[in-house]
Chain A
């Protein structure tokens, strides 16, 4: 038990040094690492990531508004059905009716109905789930000359997944348009998007993400217009409501660029935009036909301004004004530039921590760790003397290995994570205590010092494993089920157990063996 081959000794020492080496990048700046890795990559690049609770920042969870998404899908479906019926010249009685999960239409003529059904069925797409595939929609006759098209559950789930995937990309660009921030935008589950951004507040993230950002240009309706062709929208420009034509003249998809700027005459923050070819020619035609009339700029169903057309705008460029601040103009320009969201999203969870509080937490964590370590070290050495000192060396290596592994894994250190490390400091000594107390007992039973050491290490082995595995299981479950900063606790708790068991069976034994051979004590721990 106390004899180590040279290879084993080297392997143990190398592992410890490698662990220490892995922590290196945490002490260097990025430039220093880059400079050192000029020709060969000799310095590892993984660093420990400070959690948002320690460096300050925000975490916001957005959830897709399913009802809104389904409603939009059904509207699209209605338009598709109308188009198909129109193209096939099939006459219907009444309109295409919208229902909770789909649409229905009454086709009085039996031959027409039989002819159109296969075409409508083409709207359904197969949704693959594992090996089986299910249709996204069911098209069926519902009796009384009715045809019903209803979305299936897999169909709706697929729409949600696609919408969230697309929205995630849009989110990423809106949050981080220049790609210079360390923000992370992840999809969580099937219907959520999680944004984490150091140095930002939750409000800032929300303002950057904004709404759907669907931009439409419509004419303001004449007083005598056909009521079926107009709609009344709330106005953000001076309050009240404005009645506009339903027909969309140009829309946000036809934009090629949008930037914030200042109006040269009023000094007000505005958004400058450019249309693509199609949008530009359409805009030119509309504006030249309607000089002197007002048109409405509609954003997500709200009129943001309704200027009067003074002259034909033929250059494909324009300006939107509407009580913007520079920040809101910049955010909206970014949102318009990267396109609209496929659905509405609402915030379901937000947590932000100021940088000052994070700094305080780091200081508190450091102080707690320092005090705990000093107390534990003093007590261990007082209880076990030289062997206690060996336990303390193992403890220090242990903590270094935890940091090394965390750097390697790019793990996040949170305040509960620091608590996990402090706890490891308290518990790691246990494996040594188990061994030392056993050594004492064996000695009392009349064994020689070396035999007692042997027995102590070998008998404590199973116990150390059993005792640590129970906590490891608890930590693992916490890692899988826990969220946020609690996950950081699970990480340090589990890594702490791994390194504790490793040092107990290798380094502690190795140093104990060296010490024994060097001092040849008659009795141990007397």
Chain B
């Protein structure tokens, strides 16, 4: 059987040279992301700002969004966002937090039922009070920071500090871009977004770690080679793996985006974006940034060099 090969053997792409283009490019889209964050803002869901949400399905099979908008406006419950949600029949209504707290939230729920129960099935109801939303924001922020710190500490133990710093820079790059994606794509930013962000951080680092592992291995092996050359070889050597792995992850995510349903579509889309960005940043940011961080071949501890693979393999085989 002829095997599928996306990346041929022995590629020699000058990745380090391309940093002249990739760094300004990344800087540009990072700036765009930050600008989008501050101008467009995040489309924050009720998890983080409080309020109520209703997913409803028209009994007739076709929901008239304009009519719903007019009806909701007539309820005198403040700002509401009404959007199609998947099929023609499904609508998502989000209502802002009411000034009189829980009594108001309860009133919104009752009003929505009395207004729409006749023609719609209200399939999902959520209300989040101001204290709970505040806690969810706090927990989400602490969670992301905690994960970043814990991962940095792990990388710092496993690698030299320059690698940990490089990995963190690449991760921050991915985070900023993902936030920008949320702002520009107007995806709801809620609890599942925190899950998406943390997973993106995990996978982006997964890639970075694979390349870093190889760079370190090369540094131990070839003491005379220039650092740039060495990184090119390392990135090219892991290129096939990067591509194949990302194709499998992307295939899985495409399954989720297309068929996983409306509730997790935003989550799957963000993840899809994040995985692509994470791969890009591992190759074009995380690896070349090591040159700027001043990684020298001499920095890598030689005493931890592993024995030649064959000897180790043989001894391991005997041991069992």
Contacts and interface: CB of A to CB of B under 8 A. Distances in A.
Contact of A471 (B106, B202, B312, B320): B202
Contacts of B5: 383
Nearest to A451: B310
A467 B139 contact: no
Interface of B: 1, 3-6, 9-10, 55, 102, 105-106, 109, 121-129, 131-132, 136, 139-140, 142-143, 146-147, 150-151, 154-155, 158, 191-192, 194-195, 198-199, 201-203, 205-207, 209-210, 213-214, 217, 237-238, 240-241, 244-245, 247-256, 258-261, 263-264, 267-268, 271, 309-310, 312-314, 316-317, 320
B131 A471 contact: no
B170 to A, nearest CB: 12
A441 B240 CA distance: 10
A482 B317 CA distance: 43
Interface stretch (A141-149, A164-172, A209-217, A472-480): A472-480
B223 to A, nearest CB: 19
Contacts of A454: 309-310, 313-314, 317
A437 to B, nearest CB: 4
A350 interface: yes
A493 B271 CA distance: 14
12 contacts: A371-B259, A430-B241, A430-B248, A430-B249, A434-B210, A454-B313, A470-B201, A471-B199, A474-B199, A478-B147, A478-B195, A483-B191
A484 interface: yes
A353 B261 CA distance: 15
A422 B3 contact: no
The interface size bin for chain A is 35 or more
A490 interface: yes
Given A383-B3, A462-B213, A474-B198, A430 B245 contact: yes
A119 interface: no
Interface string A350-386: 1111101100110011011111110110011011110
Given A383-B6, A415-B263, A467-B210, 5 more contacts: A350-B126, A415-B260, A422-B253, A483-B139, A486-B195
Interface of A: 1-5, 8, 53, 61, 63, 201-203, 346-354, 356-357, 360-361, 364-365, 367-373, 375-376, 379-380, 382-385, 415-416, 418-419, 422-423, 425-427, 429-430, 433-434, 437, 440-442, 444, 447, 451, 454-455, 457-459, 462-463, 466-475, 477-478, 480-486, 489-490, 493, 525-526
A482 to B, nearest CB: 7
A458 to B, nearest CB: 5
Given A415-B261, A474-B198, A354 B213 contact: no
Nearest to A365: B260
A437 B244 contact: yes
B244 A481 contact: no
Contacts of A472: 202
Contact of B3 (A350, A382, A437, A470): A382
